[in-house]
A and B are shown apart, each in its own frame.
Chain A
Amino acid sequence: MKNIKISFVINGKKEEREIPPNISLLKLLRDHLGLTGTKNGCEAGECGACTVLLDGRPVYACLVLAPKVDGKEIITIEGIGEEGKLHAVQKAFLAHGAVQCGFCTPGMILAAKALLDERPNPSRKEIEDAISGNLCRCTGYLQIVKAIEASGKGGKGEV
């Protein structure tokens, strides 16, 4: 299969790549761009660990064909904050004990960010809806929901 050329904006930076046309966005991110913060938990759209934002909407990167992101904007966990300048959701995840093994964390944070971008003060039900496609086996979700609630209300994610 011939490679195709696509261009897209990744974490605010314009990129152009030649890629095989049959790879997933997940593969593009992890293997071609070296953005391994996006996790591969099942590669079948079941676990949500590969959730990223595509034009602001949460998607499972494993289910999106890479050529589909041509001309679009992608945000991954690497693109929303850094030490000293954390996103409110990242801060809240730290403060509320919402991180255990950390494998679902990037996807969970991006699903939460997508919600908060649209609804700055979400209800508990809206939070649950927003992360219902993201599985976590460690936390029982309690502290994740609390963290998202706190990032909505306080705006800063602190306790």
Chain B
Amino acid sequence: MPLKGKVGESIPRVDAMDKVLGKALFAADFRMEGLFHMKVLRSDRPHARIRKINTERAARMEGVVRIFTYKDIPGKNLIGIINKDQTVLAEERVRFVGDAVALVVAHSEREAERALGKIQVEYEDLHPIFDPEKSLDSTTLIHEKGNLLYQRDIVRGDVEKGFSDADLSIETIYSTSMLEHTYLEPDAGVAWIDEKGRITVYASTQNPHYDHREIVTSLGIDPSKVRVIQATTGGGFGSKLDITVQCFLALAVYYLRRPIRLVYTREEAYLATAKRHPLIMKYKTGVRQDGKIVAMYVDILGDTGAYGSYGIAVAGRAAVHATGPYHVPHVKVRARMAYTNRPFCGAMRGFGVPQVAFAHESQMDLVAEELGMDPFDIRLLNAFEPGSETATGQILKDSVGIKDCLQRVQEHSKKIKEEKASPGRLSGRGIAAMWYGIGNTGMKNPASARAELNHQGMFALFTGAAEIGQGSDTVLCQIAASEMGIGVEDIRLIRGDTAITPDAGATSASRQTYISGNAVRKAAARLRVMVLENASEFLHVPVKELSIEDALIKSIRDGKTLTTLEEVAARCKHEGKKLIGEGFFDPPTSTLNPETGQGIPYATYAFACHMVDVRVDPTTGEVDVLRVVAAHDVGKAINPTNVVGQIASGVAMGIGQALMEEFAPGQTGSMREYMIPTVKDVPVIIPIIVESPEHTGPFGAKGVGEPALIPTAPAIINAMNRALGVKIVNLPAKLERVMKMVLKGSGAVG
């Protein structure tokens, strides 16, 4: 019987059994004898100097074991994935409401909580800045280096000339809101000293190997003394890329040598963790009468809040993707990120691309309307194709499936009748397209993996790639199984443990299928060759006449089984040989020129198009999303059911982004004030998988996690603009805003 789990099969997820049984061990589920509990004291000031921290009274409280402040940090008190500007525990300054100031460890959570209130912090308030534009003009510096975190410019062609050649140019300013990821599992971790004396942190995270580095630096100890294990992680969407509980727990265990637990409440997860960057985007698009875009000018200003986190990556990615998936000969883009005293913003599904897609897709519709063109036609006319040159001067080679996506959705648009407006019900249809570079922008971002056949003939796959619900465990097993000629059920997966797994980089940027997938494939291929070479020796059959199929070693000539993996493993054991295959992959990219942004930011891109039908009740402002047709070029669907799961996931989040989600610091304290879509908000979803193979991808695969989200909100807004005859320029288009639009009639509204 053929074994299950080959690439292209929709097998059940390898991690799902434990999850349906309630056995999967999330960090908060971890129990240990003699656990201490931790709570974090956080700043209630947006910007202040710390004069004094008095912990004496708190330390005397019942049940308190110890209180930690910055003075206890033995190593460097400075963290950050891209630029290091964030303290583990505040020293002389706090920069937002939520900055960590002190840690209490006690025998119970309640005792720790009570002691928090007894810590006295003497602050001297400083001028707070809540607006990125004001921040850039302010003499108050939030960080010593200045309030501008980063600027990315992209210059291609001659934008002035481009506009002078244009028959029409359209200028609009768009803005988006701060968003909260609202993963279902609040951040959590448990730490202890393991049997080898290592400080071991079991935490909810998207990047265990990065966590390891930050802990090592903050404690100033040898890397071998620290171990991070990725707990079952209840969603991340980018937020769990930053350090949350890890350094706090490691610090306390460093001193106390006892197991300690820290679980954020939902309120703390809202207060203290990263948000999505709100962006202000000035767009000017120049087109010829025939619909060809000739010039684009884009100026983006983002608010990164108190710390850099992924702000540089968001600015860079927003700039690179600013044109949308269209060929534009003359481009000038400037993207800046400014510090403010608002919550820090980091990575969130799409790194700035969901924001710019709202802008470039709104512009496309405005242009189409002005020229009297069909929204599909104008996009098809300008869309990338193999050989197109992007704004960074990259020539796209293969796997450019944007036209396929547009055409597949267009076919559906012809088949599905548009909703007719009826009295009291307005309706509209909108489309939006996107492109998304897989992996980090113009920098090295490799992954490693290891495949082993142990002496019993059992196959083990080692990867540092964090499974956060997106499905990498399953996809990587399927890739290994296909390459190795075995079934997924034959694979023992060892994932996310810095003591034993190779670094796979972050689970971010939709990169694990493509990058770790390649590393896994290479590791499995090397192991396969090794196994066959060993088999060849004792079978006296040339390697090229052997294959592994259904976990058996067979003759290519007649398909006969010649030996087993167990037999090869046993013989290798006898000869003292190890069967280990290692794989490494770093996508071929180049650094972008600092002035012009020219270069190769990504090795490959995913493409997509969504079509949305909406119905709007003009008396209440209620928007009903009726239907979403979502076509995605994923290169190759390793597991089609997983791909559909990602598409539906993105659509739901896109509905939230378009219509309901907005994080207002100081007001949004819990889920009560932050609506995310329920099952009632999600419409009929028609997923379309387009497979335009990427030759550098594993079995042709790219990625889909973030692309799934990106076109939904812009398509909804385009549909609403049609239904209401307005031009929505701010997200989200909440009920009350829609009502205002209806009352005001047309015009730019927000």
Interface residues of A (CB under 8 A from B): 30, 34-44, 46-47, 49, 76-78, 81-83, 86, 90, 93-97, 99-106, 109, 127-128, 131-145
9 further A-B contacts with Cβ under 8 Å, apart from A101-B233, A133-B678, are A42-B671, A47-B184, A77-B20, A77-B21, A94-B17, A95-B12, A136-B679, A140-B650, A143-B645
| Nearest Cβ on chain A to B84's Cβ, whole angstroms | 29
User: Are B184 and A109 in contact (CB-based, < 8 A)?
Assistant: no
CA distance A137 to B656 in the complex (A): 10
User: Are A140 and B682 in contact (CB-based, < 8 A)?
Assistant: yes
Q: Which of B21, B232, B641, B649 is close to A138, meaning CB atoms less than 8 Å apart?
A: B649
- B712 to chain A: closest residue by CB: A140
| Nearest Cβ on chain A to B352's Cβ, whole angstroms | 20
The answer to whether the Cβ of B534 comes within 8 Å of any Cβ in the partner chain is: no
18 contacts between A and B (CB under 8 A): A30-B29, A37-B22, A40-B186, A42-B266, A43-B265, A44-B670, A44-B672, A49-B184, A94-B13, A103-B185, A109-B20, A134-B679, A138-B469, A140-B647, A140-B649, A140-B677, A143-B645, A145-B679
Question: Given A139-B648, A145-B679 in contact, is the A46-B235 Cβ separation under 8 Å?
Answer: no
User: Are A41 and B642 in contact (CB-based, < 8 A)?
Assistant: no
User: Are B648 and A143 in contact (CB-based, < 8 A)?
Assistant: yes
User: Are B21 and A135 in contact (CB-based, < 8 A)?
Assistant: no
Q: Which of A99, A138, A142 is close to B682, meaning CB atoms less than 8 Å apart?
A: A142
User: Are B17 and A40 in contact (CB-based, < 8 A)?
Assistant: no
- B708 to chain A: closest residue by CB: A140
CA distance A76 to B22 in the complex (A): 9
CA distance A141 to B650 in the complex (A): 11
User: Are B184 and A104 in contact (CB-based, < 8 A)?
Assistant: yes
The answer to whether the Cβ of B8 comes within 8 Å of any Cβ in the partner chain is: no
The answer to whether the Cβ of B57 comes within 8 Å of any Cβ in the partner chain is: no
CA distance A93 to B17 in the complex (A): 9
User: Are A144 and B679 in contact (CB-based, < 8 A)?
Assistant: yes
| Nearest Cβ on chain B to A51's Cβ, whole angstroms | 12
Chain A residues with Cβ below 8 Å from B67 are: none
Question: Given A137-B184, A137-B676 in contact, is the A102-B10 Cβ separation under 8 Å?
Answer: no
User: Are B22 and A103 in contact (CB-based, < 8 A)?
Assistant: no
Chain A residues with Cβ below 8 Å from B25 are: 36
Question: Given A104-B184, A143-B645 in contact, is the A36-B29 Cβ separation under 8 Å?
Answer: yes
Chain B residues with Cβ below 8 Å from A140 are: 645, 647-653, 677, 682, 685
- A109 to chain B: closest residue by CB: B20
Q: Which of B17, B650, B678 is close to A135, meaning CB atoms less than 8 Å apart?
A: B678
B168-183 at interface with A (beta carbon < 8 Å): 181-183
Over the window 304-348 of chain B, the binary record of Cβ atoms lying under 8 Å from chain A Cβ atoms (1 yes, 0 no) is: 000000000000000000000000000000000000000000000
User: Are A86 and B185 in contact (CB-based, < 8 A)?
Assistant: no
List 9 A-B pairs, minimum CB-CB distance, nearest first.
Answer: A37-B22, A101-B469, A102-B19, A140-B648, A103-B234, A77-B22, A140-B652, A142-B648, A36-B29
| Nearest Cβ on chain B to A48's Cβ, whole angstroms | 9
User: Are A101 and B184 in contact (CB-based, < 8 A)?
Assistant: yes
Chain A residues with Cβ below 8 Å from B10 are: 97
Q: Which of B17, B235, B649 is close to A103, meaning CB atoms less than 8 Å apart?
A: B235
Interface size on B, residues (CB 8 A): 56
CA distance A144 to B235 in the complex (A): 16
B1-30 at interface with A (beta carbon < 8 Å): 10, 12-13, 15-26, 28-29
Q: Which of A40, A41, A81, A99 is close to B13, meaning CB atoms less than 8 Å apart?
A: A99
Question: Given A95-B12, A140-B682, A142-B682 in contact, is the A41-B185 Cβ separation under 8 Å?
Answer: yes
User: Are B183 and A86 in contact (CB-based, < 8 A)?
Assistant: no
User: Are A105 and B648 in contact (CB-based, < 8 A)?
Assistant: no
- B468 to chain A: closest residue by CB: A101
User: Are B184 and A41 in contact (CB-based, < 8 A)?
Assistant: yes
Chain A residues with Cβ below 8 Å from B676 are: 135, 137
The answer to whether the Cβ of B517 comes within 8 Å of any Cβ in the partner chain is: no
User: Are A103 and B26 in contact (CB-based, < 8 A)?
Assistant: yes
From B185, B644, B679, residue with most partner A Cβ within 10 Å:
B679
CA distance A47 to B19 in the complex (A): 18
B222-276 at interface with A (beta carbon < 8 Å): 232-235, 237, 265-266
The answer to whether the Cβ of B31 comes within 8 Å of any Cβ in the partner chain is: yes
| Nearest Cβ on chain B to A85's Cβ, whole angstroms | 11
- B234 to chain A: closest residue by CB: A103
CA distance A96 to B23 in the complex (A): 20
User: Are A93 and B20 in contact (CB-based, < 8 A)?
Assistant: yes
Question: Given A39-B26, A42-B671 in contact, is the A142-B644 Cβ separation under 8 Å?
Answer: yes
CA distance A77 to B29 in the complex (A): 14
| Nearest Cβ on chain B to A60's Cβ, whole angstroms | 12
| Nearest Cβ on chain A to B20's Cβ, whole angstroms | 4
User: Are B28 and A40 in contact (CB-based, < 8 A)?
Assistant: yes
User: Are A38 and B22 in contact (CB-based, < 8 A)?
Assistant: yes
Chain A residues with Cβ below 8 Å from B182 are: 137
- B263 to chain A: closest residue by CB: A40
The answer to whether the Cβ of B657 comes within 8 Å of any Cβ in the partner chain is: no
| Nearest Cβ on chain A to B468's Cβ, whole angstroms | 6
Question: Given A96-B641, A138-B235 in contact, is the A105-B29 Cβ separation under 8 Å?
Answer: no
| Nearest Cβ on chain B to A52's Cβ, whole angstroms | 11
Chain A residues with Cβ below 8 Å from B183 are: 101, 103, 137
B654-672 at interface with A (beta carbon < 8 Å): 670-672
